[in-house]
Chain A
Amino acid sequence: MQQPLVEKAKSAGTDSRNPSATRRANFRRMWDKNSTLFFMALPGLLLVFVFSYLPMFGIIVAFKDYKASKGLFDSDWIGLKNFEFLFGTQDAWHVTFNTLFLNSLFIITSTLGAIGLALLLNEVRERFKFMTNFYQSALLLPHFISYVIVSYFVFAFLNTDNGLVNHTLAGFGLDTISWYSSPQYWPAILTSVNLWKSAGFASIIYLSGILAINPEYYEAARIDGATKWQQITKITVPLIMPLIIIMVLLSIGRIFYADFGLFYQVTRDNGLLYSTTDVLDTYVYRALRVNGDVGMAAAAGMYQAVVGFVLVVLANWTVRRIDPDKALF
């Protein structure tokens, strides 16, 4: 009981002689000022801790012979065995290649598509507000549809017996194709689906970049007799180039992560198509849930997380050097 009183007296009178009490008093004051804001943040912080940070510690499962009956902590350590198994098969290289190859196709096509759409929309937005709104809404809509529904769409086009594409082929007297058992077509199909779903959304970002360009440049160009095409290639594109580079770099940072819904739902998890459509995320999911090979799944997941992390950090570092405002951190 005595202690606090003495301390208080000391800190009130002779601060400099008792640094620890001063520190405590300062902390007290600082805490009083900030505690409400801290408690506001607390529920969110706790959720992040449980669902994001706890699994990070759980990464040790990749080095264990996991048995559900023993639990995470009591399962036996087996060092790098899981990784040896993973990289001992062809699978690891195969799904890595598919992930990188398909994601590269997606980045190239959807970047070009989005820039194209933004340029087109920019040409008509001032004088045809109503139509521009219609175009934008129509192009955005696919972004908001779940991949389950998208797989219904794709099935309506491609199913062998009564799909629209085969009907049309048959109508022209051509041979029909059994799409769901022909892996060679799937890189193109998935690229189209991805373009359809993502280009409209991405075009908004580029359009807002174009809107930020000073209109005086265009006026000056018009006075000098520049054509529309020249204005696009000599003014618009060069001025949004930093934005394009940043967006592409950020996508490259995520190139090790595949869109699970696209690869799982749209292909309908069809084994016949794995040779061209199996990616890291579907591989990890199958190892865990279908084959029950927890160790292998964890090893593949950790491989993805670590390489993915390095790429994100590199991409961000590069972005930061171009434009610090656009970097994630």
Chain B
Amino acid sequence: MIQSANRKPLGLRLKQSNLIVHFFLLLFSITALIPFVMLISASFSTEVSFGKYGYSLFPQDFSLQAYEYLFNDFGQIINSYFITIVVTFVGSSLGLLIMSLLAYSISRKDFKFRKPLSFYVFFTMLFNGGLVPWYILITQYLHLKNTIFVLILPYLVVPWFVLLLRTYFGGLPTELFEAAKMDGASEWRVFFQIALPLSTPALATIGLFSMLQYWNDWWLALLFIDDRKLFPLQYLLYTIQSNIDAISQNPEMNMGIIIPTQGVRMAMAVLAIGPIIFAFLFVQKYFVRGITLGGIKE
């Protein structure tokens, strides 16, 4: 039945009930995308038209002023971009390696410490010491405040990602590992040359999640970074906005803080989103499988 429906021309396939479904889905999709459109159109508006019309769905005029300003001003913005890229790259690749090693070993059914170590890792999803002891540990004992490491280390192992990876590794056929070991391959070799290549969908999904976590992070910077040289991109965007709030509530406070114009701020936000959309489109096909992984457990 489905096949015969497929062969009909589009007009016949679009029955009335289908039209209603498409109408709603289109409406919701547009709702999801509208803020992005507004942001982009604000970034291309001139200050004059922005002052006159405010935020709108479509640009009232077209100018590249904001972007020119951004590319000419190699100051804070370029620096923050650099910090974010380094943190994202180092954090997600190192994290992916450490998490897959951990997940692989506790997925192996013949691993003696599998049960206690799994509990050890996943218990942290249920209970934690809360913000304060964690904050004191990092600032007073590990002395990581205002270092780039504090932007990387806390997110290297995320129990939830380990759980997803473990589920995936657990589904690989054990015979493969045994056969390879019979042929004299070491555990390390089995991991790198058999388990990893077979797990591309899981690694792509978790890799993307981990990249996004680093790219989008402002929380660690909010807590631990005062040094402007180490501001990541999202945190820079946050401080600009909160400076504006502070000044609008308290105008005499403005002592030489340079506030970028509305258009420049929007252009910065566009540049902060751009790579996400790119990465998202790139690994989108693995997603649905990746997200639903957690449901399967042995």
A33 to B102, CA, bound (A): 17
Size category of the A interface is 35 or more
Chain A interface: which of B69-77, B85-93, B133-141, B251-259? B133-141
CB-based contact B187/A37 at 8 Å = yes
Asked if A38 meets B113 with Cβ closer than 8 Å, knowing A153-B38, A298-B133, the reply is yes
When C-beta atoms are compared, the residue in chain B nearest to A30 turns out to be B112
CB-based contact B25/A135 at 8 Å = yes
Number of interchain pairs (Cβ within 8 Å): 282
Q: Please, which residues of chain A bring their CB within 8 A of the CB of B5?
A: 127
CB-based contact A288/B291 at 8 Å = no
User: Can you pick out 26 interface pairs between chain A and chain B where the beta carbons lie within 8 Å of each other?
Assistant: A34-B113, A37-B108, A38-B113, A40-B191, A47-B156, A56-B127, A57-B133, A58-B133, A62-B132, A72-B140, A123-B21, A148-B216, A148-B237, A151-B238, A156-B55, A162-B55, A167-B56, A200-B32, A201-B291, A289-B223, A298-B130, A301-B131, A301-B133, A304-B130, A309-B126, A328-B125
Within 8 A of A (CB), among B1-39: 2, 5-6, 13, 17-18, 21-22, 24-26, 28-33, 35-36, 38-39
CB-based contact B132/A144 at 8 Å = no
CB-based contact B104/A120 at 8 Å = no
Q: Please, which residues of chain A bring their CB within 8 A of the CB of B56?
A: 164, 167
CB-based contact B119/A127 at 8 Å = no
When C-beta atoms are compared, the residue in chain B nearest to A327 turns out to be B297
CB-based contact B187/A146 at 8 Å = no
A301 to B127, CA, bound (A): 12
A155 to B248, CA, bound (A): 14
A117 to B128, CA, bound (A): 34
CB-based contact A41/B101 at 8 Å = yes
Q: Please, which residues of chain B bring their CB within 8 A of the CB of A166?
A: 54
**Chain A 3-33 near chain B by CB (<8 Å), digits 1 or 0:** 0000000000000000000000000001001
Q: Please, which residues of chain B bring their CB within 8 A of the CB of A136?
A: 288
**Chain B 47-61 near chain A by CB (<8 Å), digits 1 or 0:** 000110111110000
Q: Within 8 Å of chain B (Cβ to Cβ): is A274?
A: no
Q: Within 8 Å of chain A (Cβ to Cβ): is B68?
A: no
Question: Which one of B6, B212, B265 lies within 8 Å of A127 (CB-CB)?
Answer: B6
Asked if A167 meets B112 with Cβ closer than 8 Å, knowing A55-B133, A72-B140, the reply is no
Q: Within 8 Å of chain B (Cβ to Cβ): is A138?
A: yes
Q: Within 8 Å of chain B (Cβ to Cβ): is A234?
A: no
Q: Please, which residues of chain A bring their CB within 8 A of the CB of B119?
A: 329
Q: Within 8 Å of chain A (Cβ to Cβ): is B148?
A: no
CB-based contact B32/A40 at 8 Å = no
When C-beta atoms are compared, the residue in chain B nearest to A180 turns out to be B245
CB-based contact A157/B129 at 8 Å = no
Chain B interface: which of A103-111, A182-190, A260-268? A260-268
Within 8 A of B (CB), among A299-329: 301-302, 304-305, 308-309, 312-313, 316, 325-326, 328-329
Q: Within 8 Å of chain A (Cβ to Cβ): is B196?
A: no
Question: Which one of A40, A145, A152 lies within 8 Å of B104 (CB-CB)?
Answer: A40
Interface majority SS (helix, strand, loop, mixed), chain A: helix
Q: Within 8 Å of chain B (Cβ to Cβ): is A124?
A: yes
Question: Which one of B188, B235, B292 lies within 8 Å of A204 (CB-CB)?
Answer: B292
Q: Within 8 Å of chain A (Cβ to Cβ): is B261?
A: no
Q: Within 8 Å of chain A (Cβ to Cβ): is B218?
A: yes
CB-based contact A148/B33 at 8 Å = no
Q: Top 4 A-B pairs ranked by shortest CB distance?
A: A58-B133, A162-B54, A301-B130, A44-B102
Q: Which of B57, B136, B218 has the most CB of A within 10 A?
A: B136
Q: Within 8 Å of chain B (Cβ to Cβ): is A78?
A: no
A58 to B129, CA, bound (A): 7
**Chain B 177-196 near chain A by CB (<8 Å), digits 1 or 0:** 00000000011100100000
Q: How far is the CB of B222 from chain A (nearest CB, A)?
A: 8
Q: Please, which residues of chain B bring their CB within 8 A of the CB of A201?
A: 291
Q: Within 8 Å of chain B (Cβ to Cβ): is A134?
A: yes
Q: Within 8 Å of chain B (Cβ to Cβ): is A131?
A: yes
CB-based contact A53/B124 at 8 Å = yes
Q: Within 8 Å of chain B (Cβ to Cβ): is A137?
A: yes
Q: Within 8 Å of chain B (Cβ to Cβ): is A208?
A: yes
Asked if A305 meets B2 with Cβ closer than 8 Å, knowing A45-B120, A148-B234, A152-B39, the reply is no
Q: Please, which residues of chain B bring their CB within 8 A of the CB of A61?
A: 132-133, 136
CB-based contact B32/A196 at 8 Å = yes
CB-based contact A36/B132 at 8 Å = no
Q: Please, which residues of chain B bring their CB within 8 A of the CB of A95?
A: none
CB-based contact A44/B101 at 8 Å = yes
CB-based contact B111/A37 at 8 Å = yes
Q: Within 8 Å of chain B (Cβ to Cβ): is A216?
A: no
Question: Which one of B126, B265, B272 lies within 8 Å of A313 (CB-CB)?
Answer: B126
A284 to B132, CA, bound (A): 8
Q: How far is the CB of B231 from chain A (nearest CB, A)?
A: 12
Q: Within 8 Å of chain A (Cβ to Cβ): is B67?
A: no
CB-based contact B188/A55 at 8 Å = no
Q: How far is the CB of A54 from chain B (nearest CB, A)?
A: 6
Question: Which one of A47, A146, A167 lies within 8 Å of B54 (CB-CB)?
Answer: A167
CB-based contact A152/B212 at 8 Å = no
CB-based contact A152/B237 at 8 Å = yes
Q: How far is the CB of A178 from chain B (nearest CB, A)?
A: 12
A265 to B234, CA, bound (A): 11
Q: Please, which residues of chain A bring their CB within 8 A of the CB of B273?
A: 145, 149
Q: Please, which residues of chain B bring their CB within 8 A of the CB of A56?
A: 127-129, 133
Question: Which one of A72, A146, A150, A261 lies within 8 Å of B136 (CB-CB)?
Answer: A72
Question: Which one of B121, B188, B215 lies within 8 Å of A44 (CB-CB)?
Answer: B121
